[in-house]
Amino acid sequence: MVTPEEADVVAVHGGKPLIGEVGVRGAKNLVTKAMVAALLADEPSVLSNVPVIRDVAVVRGLLEAHAVSVTDTAPGELTLDPRGVKSAHFAEIDAHAGSSRIPILFCGPLLHQLGEAFVPDLGGCHIGDRPINFHLDALRAFGAEVEKSPEGIALRAPKRLTGAKVELPYPSVGATEQVLLTAVRAKGVTELINAAVEPEIMDLIQVLQKMGAIISVETNRTILIEGVDSLGPYQHKAIFDRNEAASWAAAALATKGRIFVRGAEQLDLMTFLNVYRKVGGEFTVGTEGIEFRHPGGELHPVVIETDVHPGFMTDWQQPMVVALTQAQGQSIVHETVYEKRFGFTDALVEMGADIEVYKEGIASITRRVPRRPLEQAAVITGPTPLHGANVRVPDLRGGFSHIIAAVTAQGESVVSNVGIISRGYEHLWEKLEGLGASFELRG
């Protein structure tokens, strides 16, 4: 008997709609950053609504490697005490970082607390090059010395970091967080131009404001940060995971089901909901969450362009592509954020989907998002019945889409490398079981 945590392979018996309720908790992409923010304080902070996912465990391990004590003070609640913080050994950082990109965000706080920081080779999902040049350029602008070696990057702040004018070439989520986590305790004012304004970033700003930071979000993607000498602890409930909510919404559509997503909120899903409606999906917004339904009739094709917030998020396209294989006609998905995020479609094609990936994107006069040099497009022609196949999960979001495709497909699918999905989906197997999916986990 394999426990859900150990499972690496799942055999799915598809062809049944997913019906029922799932709850979503705090967003992976806020919780992990708020945990790092606790490093900036002089007293313990308390973070609640923390999901049980592997990325949280990775950040916890990294904090503990730096002698920050992390305690489970209640279910879903962590107390993070940075009072003993000290430098970690390279081997420890490397061992904990695994495939996560979070270590890069430790730089600013560690430079403030210890005057030095070390970043190992960065992993994350294999969805493009995922460089860190914006991060390093910003850290240099604050006065950090950056030295690259084969193992990683060593940073030093011989004197207190100072506020800077930073203009990002692209509104990168991670680089915006980097600047926020560094500028709050730098001397003087930082002007961040072309910042990302994702809801998780706004939530991080709320965390930092609770700690004593002075941050104003101006118009036109400009953020001003007035550095302060020290920061106190925070108590915060993490914003809900809109990516998980959108994943379940798409699962309801693909499998002809009906899922109530407890904890989902309308405002941060507005762009997703518009697309959902255009495809023909139905939803009802309630006070406790949102119910997502297949309409019963045909689904319609759509054109989607992924973009930074408030656009259609790149993490929403993979599960939606599964639903679009069931729509009547030709849909186009332009991926403009990452240069390699359609690898997951190979498995869908093996399951019977008609998807063609254009590596250079498709020009069109009706495009809303300006074309980026690295973009690609996928053309999905439906409806195509899906059938079982043996497939391998390439990354987190692609992995969720494979599971949904396997549940949609007639017959048995064997999906391997599913452990990666637990980086970002809490209690995935329990939730799927509760929705009526039929599967068995293997080691």
User: Which one of the spans 37-45, 125-133, 262-270, 428-436 is the region binding ligand EPU (CB under 6 A)?
Assistant: 125-133
Chosen residue from 121, 131, 218, 277 binding ligand EPU by CB under 6 A: 131
With beta carbons less than 8 A apart as the criterion, state whether 27 and 216 touch. no
Q: Is 227 in the site for ligand EPU (CB under 6 A)?
A: no
Query: Of 171-179, 187-195, 267-275, 343-351, which segment contacts ligand EPU by CB under 6 A?
Result: 171-179
Among positions 97, 183, 304, 396, the unique one binding ligand EPU when judged by CB under 6 A: 396
Q: Which stretch binds ligand EPU (CB under 6 A): 78-86, 106-114, 124-132, 202-210?
A: 124-132
Whether 125 sits among the annotated catalytic residues: the reply is yes
* Residue 134 lies near ligand EPU (rule: CB under 6 A): yes
Give the whole-angstrom CA distance, residue 380 versus residue 67: 49
* Contact between residue 213 and residue 184 where contact means Cβ atoms under 8 Å apart: yes
CB of 131 vs ligand EPU, minimal distance in Å: 4
* Positions 277 through 316 that interact with ligand EPU (CB under 6 A): 313-315
Number of residues that bind ligand EPU (CB under 6 A): 27
* Buried b / exposed e along 27-36 (16+ C-beta atoms within 10 A): bbbbbbbbbb
Q: Indicate the burial class of 5 (C-beta count within 10 angstroms; 0-12, 13-18, 19 or more).
A: exposed
Based on the shown chain and the rule CB under 6 A, indicate whether residue 175 belongs to the binding site for ligand EPU: yes
Give the interface segment with ligand EPU, choosing from 84-92, 133-141, 260-268, 325-333 (CB under 6 A): 133-141
Contact call for residue 421 and ligand EPU (CB under 6 A): no
Of 125, 166, 239, 299, which one is the catalytic site residue?
125
Q: How far is the CB of 390 from ligand EPU (least distance, A)?
A: 24
Which is closer to ligand EPU, CB of 175 or CB of 351?
175
Query: How near is the Cβ of 396 to ligand EPU at its closest, in Å?
Result: 4
Which one of 5, 6, 71, 133 is in contact with ligand EPU (CB under 6 A)? 133
Residues 52-71 that bind ligand EPU (CB under 6 A): none
Q: Which residue is at the shortest CB distance from ligand EPU? A: 174
Regarding 338 and contact with ligand EPU (CB under 6 A), the answer is yes
Of the listed pieces 44-52, 130-138, 154-162, 216-224, which binds ligand EPU according to CB under 6 A?
130-138
CB-based contacts of 217: which residues, under 8 Å, 6+ apart?
Answer: 197, 202, 205, 223
Q: Residue 284 CB, nearest distance to ligand EPU (Å)? A: 27
Residue of 17, 22, 29, 418 that binds ligand EPU (CB under 6 A): 29
Query: What track of x and - describes contact with ligand EPU for positions 91 through 110 (by CB under 6 A)?
Result: ----------x---------
Q: How far is the CB of 309 from ligand EPU (least distance, A)?
A: 7
The residues carrying an active-site annotation are: 125
Write out the residues near ligand EPU by the rule CB under 6 A.
Answer: 28-29, 101, 125, 128-135, 170, 172-175, 196, 243, 313-315, 337-338, 396-397, 424
